[in-house]
Amino acid sequence: MKQVVAIVKPYLAQKVIESLHRAPLEALNVREVKGFGRQKSYLGEYGESEYAQAFLPKVEITLWVDDARVEEIVRKLVEVARTGRMGDGKIFVTPVSSFDSISGA
């Protein structure tokens, strides 16, 4: 099993989630996050102090996917979320081990 984390622009999040609606996922989490990458945005200069970083809003979509389906899911994410402009986001894929549920059920 793999964990796929996609950081996408907020206005694309719903479209990405809808595109994954029929995908064979074990689980999916969504949360609002803020950050910056190469597209750093500055708030401005305050006197002689350094620039203040403006964190840009993004949405983090975390998926748990069977190994055989990872490439298919990543292709779908790229197809839906890529605009071709700076700040499109990132996709990270990491291996995971599954454990029994915490509730013990």
Q: Would 68 be classed as within a structural domain?
A: yes
* 78 backbone dihedrals φ, ψ, rounded to 5°: -65, -45
Q: 50-80, pLDDT tens digit by residue? A: 445 567 889 999 999 999 999 999 999 999 9
Q: pTM for this one?
A: 0.78
Q: For residues 45 and 28, what is the distance between their CA atoms, to the nearest angstrom?
A: 40
**Distance from the Cα of residue 50 to its chain's centroid:** 30
Q: What is the CATH number of the domain that holds 90?
A: 3.30.70.120
Whether residue 102 is contained in a domain is answered as no
How many CB atoms neighbour CB 81 within 10 A? 21
Render pLDDT for 87-101 as a digit per residue (tens, 0 to 9): 888 999 999 986 666
For residue 64, is it within any domain?
A: yes
The answer to whether residue 82 is domain-embedded is yes
Expressed as residue numbers, the domain containing 60 is 2-41+52-95
46 within domain boundaries: no
Count of the separate structural domains present in the chain: 1
In a domain, 71, yes or no: yes
Q: Which residue has the tokens 């989630």?
A: 17
